[in-house]
């Protein structure tokens, strides 16, 4: 089981923002911004490159969930960033697709 599956199963405590049939969202333990939330599909897709055509609807739901959570966090007016890491050199540390929702401060470009 991935770390995120264990969190969803209640084996590991987390600061959950959302937990429904398709999406798990939680606050990152090592936040890189005042708001740093991970938006995760309940079904394991190891990374974006492993997604299939049949995952299209779920991928769309993840983006819409990220948008809804950003609004709930008050970021819809000031702005936010969504990041998906793919592979170790991109910073992927858990082999379970997830979106980083970052906001609450100015975010520089390019990211470091």
- SS3 of residue 69 by DSSP: helix
Of all residues in the chain, the percent with pLDDT exceeding 90 is 92
Cβ distance 64 to 48 under 8 Å? Answer: no
Assigned superfamily of 3-103? HIT-like (3.30.428.10)
Residues 74-90: tens digit of each pLDDT: 999 999 999 999 998 99
Residues 58-73: tens digit of each pLDDT: 999 999 999 999 999 9
Q: pTM score, two decimals?
A: 0.95
Burial 51-88 (b: 16+ CB within 10 A, else e): eeeebeebbeebeebbbebbeebebeeeebeeeebeee
Instruction: Give the active site residues.
Output: 98
- What pLDDT sits at residue 111? 83
């Amino acid at each position: 089981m991935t770390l995120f599956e264990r969190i969803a199963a209640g084996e590991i405590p987390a600061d959950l923002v959302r937990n429904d049939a398709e999406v798990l969202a939680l606050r990152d333990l090592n936040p890189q911004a005042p708001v740093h939330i991970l938006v995760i599909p309940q079904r394991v897709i190891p990374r974006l490159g492993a997604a299939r055509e049949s995952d299209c609807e779920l991928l769309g739901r993840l983006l819409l969930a990220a948008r809804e959570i950003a609004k709930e966090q008050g970021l819809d007016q000031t702005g936010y960033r969504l990041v998906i890491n793919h592979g170790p050199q991109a910073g992927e540390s858990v082999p379970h697709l997830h979106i980083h929702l970052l906001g609450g401060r100015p975010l520089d470009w390019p990211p470091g």
